[in-house]
Structure 1
Amino acid sequence: MACNSSDNTGKTIRCKAAICRKAGEPLVIEEIEVDPPKAWEVRIKILLTSLCHSDVTFWKMDTALVAKFPRIFGHEAVGVVESIGEHVEEVKQGDTVVPVFLANCGECRDCKSPKSNQCSKFGKKLYNGMPRDGTSRFRDMNGQTVYHFFCVSSFSEYSVVDVAHLVNINHYPLPPEKACLLSCGISTGLGAAWKEADVEEGSTVAIFGLGAVGLAVAVGAKQRGATKIIGVDINDEKFEIGKRFGITDFVNPSTCGDKSVSEVIKEMTNGGADYCFECIGLSSLMAEAFNSSRNVYMFALI
């Protein structure tokens, strides 16, 4: 997929973006200026972006250190490289890329380790600007700085992203509406089943919440050979949807009667699921997921 902005290489460009000027206020479509990429940076044309619940969470924040306004939200997207800065070798103009909010510098101890995905070089930045120098590449038409979000800011026609936050998918052609989900939700769910839990063949899995992340967990669990994949959701329609992604059984908490969800799951799995995934972010649900897990006895020798 070609990008037709080669004449703008090295120049500031103008485009439209959805700007949030105050926490909780509606986003406003405005014209902005986007600077050319600096060293190790890439300017991309956003083809498609989706909405993650994390965008909504940070949109509401008005007291935390990360609550810098005005800013451009969005971090699940797919785009095409419009221009590159110095030292960028991973992508070239015209490549299709997926931006990701978790950095991978490829050099630090944590990026080299198979046990971590939290880059120690860039992973602790507040991400109100670019990760290497903290400055913004966005301005409104009054010259005011517009802040970044999660080092992506995909609610804009163009964005500047550090190469450590980009994945080149040029050799894996995918429809944009599917590719944009790889940035966060799908990789989170698949990664949880494949990398974190390392689900084994023949195991039982319970998934609490069948949104994009939960369904991605189901796909990952099915790929790993789980024989019983239980979906937990208050929306009965999610069961039919979930079947297409690997869900074999369904529990609706509102129809469990006097029993708790954990009691129902323990009955279904003869003592508890081997793996439980909480995919909503509620502390009460995390406790229920923990109680739905098979008991593991640990002994300490003192």
Structure 2
Amino acid sequence: MATVGKVIKCQAAVAWEPNVPMVIEEIEVAPPQANEIRIKVIATGVCHTDLYHLFEGKNKEGFPAVLGHEGAGVVESVGPGVTEFKPGDKVIPLFLSQCRECRFCKCPKTNLCDQSWSSDRYAQMSDTTTRFSCRGQPILQFMGTSTFSEYTVLNQVAVVKIHDDAPLERVCLLGCGISTGYGAAINTAKVEPGSVCAVFGLGAVGLAAVMGCKNAGASRIIAVDINEQKFEKAKIFGATDFVNPKSHKKPISEVLAEMTNGGVDFSMECVGNGAVMRSALESCVKGWGVSVLVGWTDVQDFSARPIQLISGKTWKGSLFGGFKSKDSVPKLVLDYMAGRIMLDEFVTHTMSLDQVNDAVQLMKTGGCIRTIINLSK
């Protein structure tokens, strides 16, 4: 390719500071260095974690940055030492890396990785190792990925090759939200056939959790959200019952206990709200109920009465659905292509890069499930 080994100038959405809309800028993307890959981004989803960083987290040390972490694209060039990828490969960037060498990667009990961006810059949600610059200033890479750019550079441990026929404008969603919710049900909660489940929050992650509960064989899946317009969508993914907490005068945990003879077997909190996390735990049946924290937040504390756990309940957390990223994402792509999981049904809007702030606003107001930003035009 004519661009190999050269700086590429391209369009990107730059977040210069928190709580301010992103700006479409011409940035410079340097060639990949040792063990790095430069990717032409074809499509990217807009995830709530992007919204969180821009408007809720407000850690100024994480700016300026190019956001986006739910993308898919094609390898443009590779740096020295890269043997797993070649130009033209279809790939998905991974915000959760898998080096296969650290103690976490070698342990089957976790999907964490010591070489992930979060090992050093967890609070800032950005990586100081960047190949981006704009107006002579370095631009940070959000979650080590930065898919709101026509080109991005990643370490090879944070990229996975996928099937050549995979439609990138759909499988990009497997880079975060859908894998996170789906895996929380099947990997972390380990939902059992015939069980009763409750999913709190019906954004893309929550709907994916509903899908996971259904695929695991749950007999009843109770969808909980204050936006009743999402109930019809939840039905498509397998929800059987629907509850709006605002329609009841008693706590939602009591409502669910009355509906289920004492509480649900499994609950998943997909909002990222401390109070909802507690409600999800309290909604579980004593003795064996399992509640999983799925929604992302790092600015809230949460609490519970000790008897909730002493009585036999389990409270767990789930990152990226418990999937080891490089091992699992290609399989999820094949599952989609074979019709075993849904992706198309999550997409409510498709926009161009210059509409990215509109996409963020849609998510902020609950006006979408997933918006795809198409960068290929």
TM-score using structure 1 length: 0.90
Structure 1 residues without counterparts, runs of 5 or longer:
1-5
Matched, 1:150 2:143: yes
1:91 to 59, 64, 85: 85
Cα distance in 1, alignment partners of residues 125 and 55 from structure 2: 19
Larger helix percent: 2
Aligned partner of 1:245 in structure 2 is 237
- Match runs of 1:178-217 below 5 Å: 178-217=170-209
CA contact (8 A) 1:129 1:135 kept: no
Aligned to 1:115: 109
Q: Which amino acid aligns with 1:162?
A: N
The range that moved more, 20-29 or 148-157, is 20-29
Q: Hey, what's the Cα distance between the residues in 2 that align with 1:166 and 1:241?
A: 31
- Cα gap change, 1:147 to 1:253, in 2 (>3 Å): same
Aligned to 1:229: 221
Alignment of 1:133-144 (within 5 A): 134-140=128-134, 142-144=135-137
Mark the structure with the bigger radius of gyration: 1
**Contact 1:130–1:162 (CA<8 Å) still a contact in 2?**
no
Q: 1:164 to 1:27 in 2, by over 3 A?
A: same
Q: Establish whether residue 29 from structure 1 lines up as the match of residue 24 from structure 2.
A: yes
Cα offset for 1:25?
A: 1.5
Aligned AA (1:114): P
TM-score normalised by structure 2 residue count: 0.72
**For 1:1-302, what aligned pairs fall within 5 Å after superposition?**
6-60=1-55, 64=59, 67-122=61-116, 123-126=118-121, 134-140=128-134, 142-171=135-164, 173-256=165-248, 258-296=249-287, 297-298=311-312
What is the CA deviation profile of residues 203-252 of structure 1, one whole-angstrom value per residue up to 9, with x for unaligned ones?
Answer: 11100001100011111111111110110011222121111111111111
The 3 A distance-change label for structure 1 pair 105 and 146 is: same
The residue type equivalent to 2:43 in the other structure is L
| Whole-angstrom CA distance in 2 between matches of 1:283 and 1:129 | 20
Secondary structure of the residue aligned to 1:48 is strand
- Where does structure 2 lack aligned partners over 5 or more consecutive residues? 288-310, 314-377
- Paired residues, number: 288
Query: Distance between the aligned counterparts of 2:225 and 2:273, measured in 1?
Result: 13
1:193 counterpart SS class: helix
Distance verdict in 2 for CA 1:193–1:63, change over 3 Å: closer
Code of the aligned partner of 1:148: Q
2:120 & 2:56 partners in 1: Cα distance? 17
Partner Cα separation in structure 1 for residue 182 and residue 312 of structure 2: 28
Structure-2 change in CA distance of 1:61 and 1:143 (3 Å):
farther
Measure, in 1, the Cα distance between the counterparts of 2:47 and 2:153. 20
Report if aligned partners of 2:65, 2:126 keep a CA contact under 8 Å in 1: no
Shift of 1:174: 3.4
SS of the residue corresponding to residue 101 of structure 1 reads: coil
RMSD: 2.0
1:262–1:183 distance in 2 versus 1, CA, 3 Å: same
Alignment check: 8 A CA contact 1:230 1:247 kept? yes
The structure-2 alpha-carbon separation of the partners of 1:63 and 1:207, relative to structure 1 and needing over 3 Å to count, comes to: closer
- Secondary structure of 2:233's partner? helix
CA contact (8 A) 1:61 1:67 kept: no
Deviation at 1:165, TM superposition (A): 1.0
Structure 1 pair 289–129 and aligned structure 2 pair: CA distance change class (3 A): closer
After TM superposition, give the deviation of residue 63 of structure 1 in Å.
6.3
One-letter amino acid of the structure 2 residue matched with residue 110 of structure 1:
F
TM-aligned CA deviation for residue 259 of structure 1: 2.4
User: Relative to structure 1, is the Cα distance of residues 56 and 67 closer, same or farther in structure 2, using a 3 angstrom cutoff?
Assistant: farther
Task: Return the letter of the residue paired with 2:253.
Answer: S
CA-to-aligned-CA distance 1:11-31 (integer Å, 9 cap, x gap): 111101111112211211111
Q: Deviations over 1:40-95 (max 9, x none)?
A: 1110011111211111221136864x733221111111111111112222222111
Higher relative contact order (CA 8 A, sep 6+): 2
How many angstroms apart in 2 are the aligned matches of 1:125 and 1:76?
21
What one-letter code is carried by the residue in structure 2 that aligns with 1:192? A
CA distance in structure 1 between the partners assigned to 2:43 and 2:148 by the alignment: 9
**Residues 194/26 of structure 1: CA separation in 2 closer, same or farther (3 Å cut):** same
The CA distance in 2 between the partners of 1:291 and 1:266, in whole Å, is: 9
Task: Note the C-alpha offset of 1:135.
Answer: 2.6
3-state secondary structure, aligned to 1:202 = coil
- The structure with more strand, counted as a fraction of residues: 2
